[in-house]
Amino acid sequence: MSGYFKEIITGLKSLAIGLQITNKEFFTKPITLQYPHESVKMTPRYRGHIELVKDPQTGTHRCIACGMCEKGCPTGCITVQAEKREGVKGKVLTAYILNFTTCSLCGQCVENCKPEAINFSNEYNLASTRREDYIFNLLQKLHPEGVPEPEIDPELLKKEREKKEAAKKEPAKKAAAKEGGESKAEEKS
């Protein structure tokens, strides 16, 4: 019989503690978000897909198209496309493609990037039924209004054009020297 009353007292004690917690939480503001209408504020250290970093001085991306992120990616989900343009020092980035369907979010690309041109984004709401929606051109995503053209250095442009002209004239000089050498050989015989 004493066990019966002991259980009742333990139950009432447990009920009192539960009601105390319930009453305390009843007057606090709820932390539940109504998801589609309210968005979650992500922490700065959240690791979403990668994104290009905008240089505050130039207003364009920091990427120098070295390809270290592409080489360091274990899944091969990054493709860097660049071209050499006249009058511009270095390569010009034309496309930076991320196939997020195969990305493992390992962070090797961010670690390998020496100019710190890529970083993790805070974008978390990536819901789609199509695979094409997960293939991002990060250059277009950074510059939706259009990618700004790189600044052309007039001195570098002049030097490059002089080199091209010299390269065009060089085969003609070699051909003339060859013909001159053959005619001298004919004269000797």
* Residue-wise pLDDT tens digits, 23-70: 998 888 888 888 878 888 888 888 999 999 998 888 888 999 999 999
Structure-token pair, residue 109 = 């690309």
In the structure encoding, which two tokens stand for residue 125, read together? 């709401």
- pLDDT mean over 118-138: 91
Residue given tokens 């922490």 in the structure block:
43
| Domain parsing of the chain, residue ranges | 50-142
Alpha-carbon span 135 to 102, nearest angstrom: 10
Q: What are phi and psi of 16, to 5 degrees?
A: -65, -40
Q: What share of the chain is helix, strand, coil (3-state, %, to 5)?
A: 40, 15, 45
Give me the mean pLDDT over the 81-88 stretch.
Answer: 86
Please state, in angstroms and rounded to a whole number, the distance separating the CA atoms of residues 142 and 62: 11
CATH architecture of the domain formed by 50-142: 2-Layer Sandwich (3.30)
| Residue found by looking up tokens 């343009």 in the block | 85
| 140: number of Cβ within 10 Å | 14
Report field, pTM of the whole predicted structure over 0.85: no
pLDDT for 70 equals 94
How far is C-alpha 137 from the geometric centre of its chain's CA atoms? 9
